[in-house]
Structure formats: structure tokens, C-alpha cells
Amino acid sequence: MKSIVLVIIFSVLLVSCGFKSIYSSKNSNFEIVDILNKNENKNSFLIEKTIMAISNNEAQKKLRLEIDYQQLTTTILKDSKGDPSKNKLLIKVNLNVKDKENKVLINKEFTEEFSYNVQANKFEMSQYVENISENLNKKISNDIIFLLATL
């Protein structure tokens, strides 16, 4: 009985706390008219989808984006047998922002990297790398959104 009362009290307090989302299309001051994705893959589409979610159709600034996505995995360290024991995941996104007349406003490269130890279990290793890649892509997406909001 006490737990039900506590849940009700906490829900009332949280509803009235004044929460507003930071990244909302209502608050953005730009509209993405077109995105040219040069290297179409799952990760570049994730970045594109995140940016398009913030686009405001009623904004004055109309922007065109060109995204060049690259993901590289390199071996940093090998063990005595020659097998990789430490890798580095590097993600580079070259962003070209143009206005509606195709005049270049800004050209910027976003880079994120992460070093990790190689695991023996290949399935867990692929899941781990996928998780790292997703987190780095989210970081780059947030950086791009911040850049577009400050134009």
C-alpha cells in the first residue's frame, strides 16, 4: 500500500517539474531541405535520421547538407602470436552545409575515436563494437545539431 502511494506522489511531482526537451523541432531555427549522403550505410543513415528529426519546417533558414561518413578500424597492439589485442575505432564525418542557393556556409569535419581491447568471443566483440559505434555516432549527431543551431 505504501509503495502505491509513493508511486503516485512521485509521478505527480515529476509531471509538474517543468520538463522540456532540449532538442525539439519546435525549438530549432533551421529546416533541412536536402541531405546528400555520399557513403550510404546504416551508421550514416542514423546520423541523417537524427538530424532530420530536429528539422523545423517553419524555420527561416533552409539548409542543404552533404555528409561524407567514414568508419575505420585499425589495430593498435598485437600479442606475441600476431593476433590483434587492441583496436581503435575511428569515425569521421565531413559535413558540408549550404544554403538554399547552394552557397557553402560551412565545411567541417567531425572526428570521434575509441580504443578497445579485443575479446575472444567474436559475437560479444561484434556487439561491443556496434555499441561503441552507436555511441560515437550519437555524439557526432549532437555536435552537428549544435553546429546547425548556432549558424
pLDDT per residue over 40-84, tens digit each? 888 888 888 888 888 878 878 888 999 999 999 999 999 888 889
41 contact partners, CB below 8 Å, separation of at least 6: 69, 71
**Domain spanning 25-149: CATH superfamily:** Lipoprotein like domain (3.30.160.150)
pTM higher than 0.85, yes or no?
Answer: no
Amino acid letter for position 78:
K
Tell me the angle at which helices 42-54 and 122-149 cross, rounded to the nearest 10 degrees: 30
pLDDT of residue 15: 66
Amino acid letter for position 32:
I
Q: Where are the domains of the chain?
A: 25-149
Phi (first) and psi of residue 121, to 5 degrees: -75, 115
Query: Percent of the chain scored above 70 by pLDDT?
Result: 88
Please list the alpha-helical segments (H only) found in 16-151: 42-54, 122-149
Is the predicted pLDDT of residue 19 greater than 80, yes or no? no
